[in-house]
């Protein structure tokens, strides 16, 4: 395996490690569980952001927020109380913006 390929795989792994951290941070902001999760999430963000090679993959945080918003849209898919379409649009935009940002950063364009 070449050095460039190994670096790419490590960066993608860290990207996906950031995804649950982003989802956890968003959950901390929108639910009563937030009082229990905000400190662990903040600690994980602090620890992950300390190392530059891990911090470079932090666009996964944005994708994690998008996944949580997509999940909220799926929960409300019947549309009884909340129209799920804006949630699906926002969640998709955040999820794919995180992926695009990571891809651009990996190519050196961001």
**Each residue's pLDDT expressed in tens, for the chain with a length of 110 residues:** 798 889 889 999 999 999 999 999 999 998 887 778 889 999 999 999 999 989 999 999 999 999 999 999 999 999 888 999 999 999 999 999 999 999 999 888 66
The number of beta carbons lying within 10 Å of the beta carbon of residue 69 is 23
Reference 105, options 48, 43, 62, 65; nearest CA is: 62
Give CA–CA dist 65/13, Å, rounded: 17
- Give the CA distances from residue 75 to residues 2, 7, 24, 40, 70, in Å, rounded to whole numbers and listed in that order: 43, 37, 17, 26, 9
**Considering its fold, how many domains does the chain have in total?**
1
Q: Give the structural domain span for 57.
A: 3-106
pLDDT at 110: 63
pTM of the model: 0.90
Q: Which segments of the chain does DSSP mark as H helices, in order? A: 3-30, 34-49, 52-55, 59-75, 84-106
């Amino acid at each position: 395996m070449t050095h460039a390929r190994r670096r790419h795989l490590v960066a993608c792994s860290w990207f996906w490690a950031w995804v649950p951290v982003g989802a956890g941070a968003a959950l901390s902001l929108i639910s009563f569980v937030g009082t229990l999760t905000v400190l662990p999430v903040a600690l994980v963000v602090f620890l992950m952001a300390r190392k530059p090679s891990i911090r470079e993959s932090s666009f996964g945080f944005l994708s994690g927020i998008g996944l949580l918003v997509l999940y909220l849209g799926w929960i409300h898919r019947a549309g009884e109380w909340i129209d799920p379409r804006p949630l699906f649009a926002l969640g998709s935009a955040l999820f794919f913006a995180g992926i695009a940002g990571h891809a651009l950063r990996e190519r050196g364009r961001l």
